Every structure is written in structure tokens, then in C-alpha cells.
Structure 1
Amino acid sequence: MKLNKTIALVAVILMTAATLIGCGAKPVLAATVGDQEVTVTQLENSYLSGSSYASMYGYDTSTEEGVTQYRDYLLDNLISSAMKVYQAKLAGITLTDEELAAAKATAQQNYDDTVASFEQQAQQAGATNVEAYAKTLFTKALVANKTTVKKLQADMLQDAIDNTLVSKHKTALLEGVTMTDEELSAKYAEVLASQKEQFDATPSDYFTFETYAQYGYNAPPVYVPAGFFRVRHILVADEITANMIKEKIDAGEDFEALLAEYGTDPGMQSDANAAGYLVGEGASFVEPFLNAALALAKDGDVSAPVESDYGWHIIKRVSTEPAHEIPYEDVKGAFDLYEQSLYSEQYYADIVSKWVADTTLVTKYPENYASVGK
């Protein structure tokens, strides 16, 4: 049966539950991992909720081969998750009363969020009786996913407990695992060389790295390529004020004095931005601001007032930024934190890979899951 998006919502949460079986039915196994079971229903839910993302991982599910490869990829992920739980229990990891209470609270919140998602769907559908329609949608999703409210709540609780066990075990395994100062310094040199090559070829990649670094997705930029410049701007709420300020600038009044008097962007008051915002193609500013800034041909040029969602801007190009390396000492905190995290995650991933490679612990039942995704 083809499920609509509403029904599929619950599968996203169900896919990571410890066991997903119909009420009172014996589970059909896709794999066993020690004493842990990975059911075909788990794999089906995982495929259902993740199929739209298959292409992001390089799988073409429009072909039978692609479906099989993506299904096997998902099964391997489920096996890896089950292995982590098995190894945590094997290591004797247990939860304190406080940790168990926190896991219960997490499970309850996950259940409440699931119910709320159906209420939101009912509201968006314009239902006259939102509560009744949401209940109908939720019931259909439970049936489609071969579970019940009681079973769903139990699965969510077990999932929260297992996640806490795994996290606690991981912390124990990674205790004392760290890069040396020499390794971090060598890594900085490696990253610097790589960024020089990449940013000199494609300067806009600098801003991509900068944005990703803010969210912890990569190391901070340690090299600034040529072609960028810095700007400062006066942000005000209305066009009349912006035009008045521009007239004052044109008459020779000091830009910085006017910025101090009228500017409303707190970023301009920050010591970190004293030199101005770094601008170049690909910089992550709103389009009207960026376009106006990029149009400034030389240092000292001031833009006409330009409107964005934030208000009205008068932008001044204050200096050309030469290509330069950012010293390790200037980024050490963020750089070390990111690289240490990568190192620890890889260390743990290598441990998990060795666990999963143990054929005495992992058994797959392809005859049971061959039809998943097809």
C-alpha cells in the first residue's frame, strides 16, 4: 500500500525503535546482532522514511540494483545501531536513576511530538474537528506501521534507554582519546595547504567553509584568498532617514560618526567586526546588501541607500583584504575542538566497524527482507 506523507511521518520515529512488530505477532527477522534483533518491519520503516534521501547517499532507487544497494545500506545502519546497544550491555553499562528518568522524559517528549505532528497536519488540512481528524490520521499511521499506541510508547522508551546506554559506553571508550599538540599542529598545516589550493581556485568556497564552521560541520577557514574587501554599513528603519544620512555623507560628514549616531546593526558595534564585514562573491549576506556591497569599486566608495528585509543600508567599502593565512594561534580553540571531535568520532567508528565485522555476532536473513523496497 502506498502511504501518504502524513502516515509516513510516524515511520521516521519508528525506524529507530528497538523492535517494531505487530501487536502479539512474532517478528520476522532481517538480522540478529548478538541477542539484539533487527526486524523486517524496522527495515521497511527505515526504507519508507528514507527513500526520498537515497540519492543524497549515491543510490538510484529507480533501478532494482539501486533499491537493493540502498536497502542493504539501511540494514547495515540498523545492524550498527543494534551492535552498539549489544556491546554497551556486554560491557556492563547501566543507567542511574537520574539517567533512566531522563530517558523516560525523552521518550514521552518524542511521543508527544509525534501526536502533535498529526494535530498540525489536521490543522493544515483545514479539518473542522482537528482532534478527531488527527486521531484518525494517527490511527492509520499506526496500522500502516504495524504497531499500537502502547507498543509505540514502549519502543520509544526502549529506544531512549538504548541511546543513553550507547552514549554512556561511547564516553567510556573515548576517555583519554585525544590528539597530541604535535598532531594538531600538523593537521593545521595540512588543512592550510588544502584550503589554499581550494580557495585560490574557487574563492567563494571560503564563505561556504565559514558558514559550515559556525555549525560545527568543518574546521574554521585558516586562509583568506585574494579578491575580498571589508565594508561597514549604517542600518536604519526607513528610507527617509537613510536618504538624510546619505546626504550628510555626501556633504562631508564622518561616516563612522553617523554610524555611531544612527546605526542599528549591533554587529557594527562588535570588536570582532571593527574592521568591517568581509565581502566577496558567495558571502552569506542578504542579496540586496551583498549586491550593493559588491558594486563598490574601490575603497572609500559609499553606496546609495539600499533596502533589505532588515531595513535600509548605507554601505561603505573601507579596505581591500589581501590574501593571507590565519595563524594557528588565532583559530586554535575552534580548530582543535573540531579536529579532536573528528578524531574521536573516527576512533569510535573504527571500533564499531570491528564489532560489526565479527561474523559470530551478526547474522543476516536475506530471504526475509529481499522484497523490501521493491
Structure 2
Amino acid sequence: MNMKKLTALLLAAMMLLPMAMAQETADAVLATVEDTQILQSQADALMPTFVSYEYVSSEADYQTVVTYLVQQELLKRKIADMQFDQFTQEEESALRNDAQVEWDAALEEYVQYYLAEDTDEGRATARAQAEDFYAASGLTVDLLYQNLLYGASVDKMTDYLVGGYEPTQEEVQGVFQEVGAQYQAQYENDIASYEYMTQYYGQSSWYTPAGYRGIIHILLKADAAVMEQYTAMQAAYEDQQAGADEEQVAGETAQPTQQAVVTEPVTPEQVEEARQMVLASQKAKLNEIDTRLENGESFESLVAEFGEDPGMEDPANLAYGYLVHADSIVWDPTFTSAAFSDRMTKVGDVSDPVVGSNGIHILYYLRDVPSGLVLTNEISTEIADYLKTTKENEAFTQAFASWENEMKVAYDDANILAASQAAQKRLAAEEAQSDEPDTTEPQVVPSQEDETLPVGN
């Protein structure tokens, strides 16, 4: 289930609901725009979202939320003044259709996630539960439609304010060189951080450190029992070595207090014997691959025929290879060592078969990966989007300041301060309560023999 989409839908509802709440709840007025009041209930409704997205540092920051609500009211009024909220029947029909598509998709995702029994009755029950879930959150298909209408109106205002701005290639290059230099300083001599941020965290790779190779490989799954024996033997040997190192350090600082537990040691020869058994389990295939490579068949064709790594079915991986560095942290150490073994000195070389945690690997040195700053199309688009967003933010900041001077806007500083102080007091009390030790008496849990199971429900 795409929970991000559900969150976005609920967030859309949260952004619109405060306006409706203002009509129903009588509470403190925190600001006014012309004859429209900004109430504390509206700020309270948005506060959890602002805290969740870290737009504010705490639930006591009412000033930031109130400023946002004032700006939204200014924007709504200017959109109406400039008739950016007017749409043709065709445009409205298209937006209503988009809302229905989003609504149906949200219901279906809920059904797929919570479906207990894949029958017509089960799906009908899950769909009814989905509708109840969204209704409880105030979300309806009409609210989605209104949100899309408003979003389209804001798009018109944005286009008007930025005047069709498109970043130039010089602007893109300027940002790329400035930010790229920071990435280079950060990652040039720190492969572990580079791979952690780009492979695990999803950061775009603006700068590629020197020393990477593009590697493709043939993975052969070994006999399960033989592979299990090898991995167990290898793990035991590594633990044994680590334990020996720890005992040496401990022996240098303190006397032993008890007799050590003696276990049968694992020797390197035993590990090697287990490794050879893994290779022997696929000897026929290994010999055939070796023969066909000697006869001139392409490594890529053999990957397709023999390989059991799903990643090698990706055309991009097969064309460019896995990016492997001698100091890589994302690959099996056996795989990395093989990629930089004595057999792999130039592009086109093939490694000896090696045994890793996933089976037997035969590696092919596909290419040397260009190092340095590389402006890809993806990064260029990323920079252009950043420049557009920056331009839009600057334009709206200036527009809000101008509109606030045009309209009658007043902040009730006393009420804002009172709301903030009340929130601070509540947060302090909650923190103090959470710091108190738990003095609850432990309950006696009946034993299995004494426990009486409930009957029926």
C-alpha cells in the first residue's frame, strides 16, 4: 500500500478543514484579514502537520502557523480578485475526473492493504471500511476535487508571479559547480560515506570518487546443504579469530576469573575444504562457462543463460555494471576482493570463481567508471527544479508583503502569546510526567495451570 499517497490525501484534507472549522467553533481570534478571522482552532488543526514536517520546532510556535494561515487567506483573496479561480467546463470536468481517479485509487489501496478475504463480500467490506476511514478524517471525493481546483488556481498565480521563468544552462552549471565542490570535498577520500549516502540514503551522485569499476557477474546458486556448511564454517572461523583477538586484549589488562569454554577450533584448511566443496557442486557449469568464454562467447550472453542474480536482468546494470570500489561497503567482501584481484587488471578480464554469501560468482571487468563531477540529465533536472522553487518562493515572499500592505491585516499578539504560553505549559507538564518513575505495582500473572480461558468472545 502506498502510505505516502494516503498521507498526502489526508494532508490535503487537513489544509482545507481549518477553514470549515472556523465557521463552527467559537474560540480565540489570532489574526484578521479584512473581515475574515483566523481562529486558534484553525492553528490547532494544522499544528500536528507542521510539527510532523518540522515546519515548526514545537507545538508552541503559533506565530509561524498563524502567519501561514494569514498568507493563505491573502492568496485566496488575490486569486479571486484576479479570477484565477475561474475554469472552463472542460477544465472543471478534467479536474473532477482526476479527483475521482485519486479517490478510487485511495480506496483500492486501502482495500488491498486490509483485505482479509479475497472474495466479492470481502472486498465490499474492505471498501466500506475505507470509506468510513476517510470519512472519519473528513476526506471525501468532493474535498479532493476542491483541493485540485485550488491547486490549479495557485498554479495560475505562480505562473503569473514568476513570469514563465526557466533556469538558464549557466544558472544550472553555477549551482552544479558550487554544490559539486562541496560533495567532492566530502567524498573524495571517504568511500564509505559516499556509498552510504548514495546507495542507502538515496542521495544523487554529483561527484564520483576515483577508483570505481563497472562489474557484471554470473551468479550460480550452489547446493543448499554444501553452501550452508561453508557459510557456517566461515562464520565460525571468523568468530574464532575475533574471539582470539578479544582474549588477547583482555589478557593484557586483567587476569581470567573462570575457566574458558573450550570448543573445537576451525582451521583455515577446513574452511578452504568447504569452499572447494561449494565449487565442486557446480563444477560442470563452471567448466562449460570457462570453455565457452575461451571460444569467444560474450560474457553478457552467458550472464543471460547461466546467471541467477535478478539484478543482472536490469538492462542498465548489464550495460554499466555494478559500481565497485576497493573500499566499498555495499558489496559482499568476497565480491569486492574478486573485483580487484590479480586476475582483474584491465577491462575485459574475468575473475576466478569465488564463493560469497549468495553463491558462486564469476566477475567481468566491464569498464572504468569516470570520476569527478558529472552533470547527468537527472541532476540537471534536479537543479532546475531547485532554481524554479527558489524563484517561486522569492516571488511569493514579495507578493505576500505587497498584498499585506494592500489589505487590512492585524495580528492579535496577546492571543498568540497566550496560546503559545498555554502550549508551553502543557508540553512542560507532559515532559515532567514522562520523567516520573513508574511506581505501578506489578500485577500477578496467573500460571498456565491457574489461568481460566474466557468462553465465547
TM-score bucket (shorter structure): 0.5 to 0.7
Any residues of structure 2 matched to 1:109-258 within 5 Å, and which? 109-112=101-104, 123=115, 142=135, 152-207=140-195, 221=206, 223-235=207-219, 238-239=221-222, 244-248=284-288, 253-254=293-294, 257=297
> 1:15: how far off?
0.8
Of residues 60, 80, 90, the one that matches 2:81 is 90
Decide whether aligned partners of structure 1 residues 32 and 274 sit closer, same or farther in structure 2, where only a CA change above 3 A counts. same
Once residues 71 and 143 of structure 2 are traced to their aligned partners in structure 1, the CA distance between those partners, rounded to angstroms, is: 18
Of residues 294, 303, 306, the one that matches 1:263 is 303
Once residues 312 and 160 of structure 2 are traced to their aligned partners in structure 1, the CA distance between those partners, rounded to angstroms, is: 41
Query: Once the two structures are aligned, what percentage of the paired residues are identical?
Result: 15
**Contiguous gaps of at least 5 residues in structure 1:** 1-7, 60-65
Structure 1 contact 268–274 (Cα < 8 Å) conserved? no
Decide whether aligned partners of structure 1 residues 105 and 133 sit closer, same or farther in structure 2, where only a CA change above 3 A counts. closer
Decide whether aligned partners of structure 1 residues 182 and 119 sit closer, same or farther in structure 2, where only a CA change above 3 A counts. closer
Q: Please state whether the residue corresponding to 1:257 is helix, strand or coil.
A: coil
Match of 1:349 in 2: 393
Once residues 114 and 291 of structure 2 are traced to their aligned partners in structure 1, the CA distance between those partners, rounded to angstroms, is: 60
Q: Please state whether the residue corresponding to 1:314 is helix, strand or coil.
A: strand
Per-residue CA distance 1:181-228 (angstroms, 9 max, x = gap): 443343333233222212214334544675699x8x75x52x321343
Match of 1:276 in 2: 321
Once residues 269 and 106 of structure 1 are traced to their aligned partners in structure 2, the CA distance between those partners, rounded to angstroms, is: 33
Match of 1:46 in 2: 46
Say whether residues 1:295 and 2:287 are aligned partners. Answer: no
Once residues 44 and 31 of structure 1 are traced to their aligned partners in structure 2, the CA distance between those partners, rounded to angstroms, is: 14
Once residues 207 and 304 of structure 1 are traced to their aligned partners in structure 2, the CA distance between those partners, rounded to angstroms, is: 23
Once residues 266 and 256 of structure 1 are traced to their aligned partners in structure 2, the CA distance between those partners, rounded to angstroms, is: 24
Once residues 105 and 315 of structure 2 are traced to their aligned partners in structure 1, the CA distance between those partners, rounded to angstroms, is: 39
Once residues 292 and 115 of structure 1 are traced to their aligned partners in structure 2, the CA distance between those partners, rounded to angstroms, is: 47
Once residues 68 and 195 of structure 2 are traced to their aligned partners in structure 1, the CA distance between those partners, rounded to angstroms, is: 33
Per-residue CA distance 1:75-124 (angstroms, 9 max, x = gap): 54555555444433333323232321222223334444565566567646
Query: Counterpart amino acid of 1:225?
Result: P
Q: Please state whether the residue corresponding to 1:92 is helix, strand or coil.
A: coil
**Contiguous gaps of at least 5 residues in structure 2:** 1-6, 224-280, 305-309, 427-457
Match of 1:304 in 2: 354
Structure 1 contact 122–133 (Cα < 8 Å) conserved? yes
Query: Counterpart amino acid of 1:21?
Result: A
Q: Please state whether the residue corresponding to 2:15 is helix, strand or coil.
A: coil
Once residues 295 and 18 of structure 2 are traced to their aligned partners in structure 1, the CA distance between those partners, rounded to angstroms, is: 65
Match of 1:108 in 2: 100
> 1:348: how far off?
0.6
TM-score using structure 2 length = 0.56
Q: CA RMSD in A?
A: 4.9
Once residues 132 and 32 of structure 1 are traced to their aligned partners in structure 2, the CA distance between those partners, rounded to angstroms, is: 45
Decide whether aligned partners of structure 1 residues 204 and 263 sit closer, same or farther in structure 2, where only a CA change above 3 A counts. same
Aligned length: 339
- Rg larger in structure: 2
Decide whether aligned partners of structure 1 residues 184 and 122 sit closer, same or farther in structure 2, where only a CA change above 3 A counts. closer
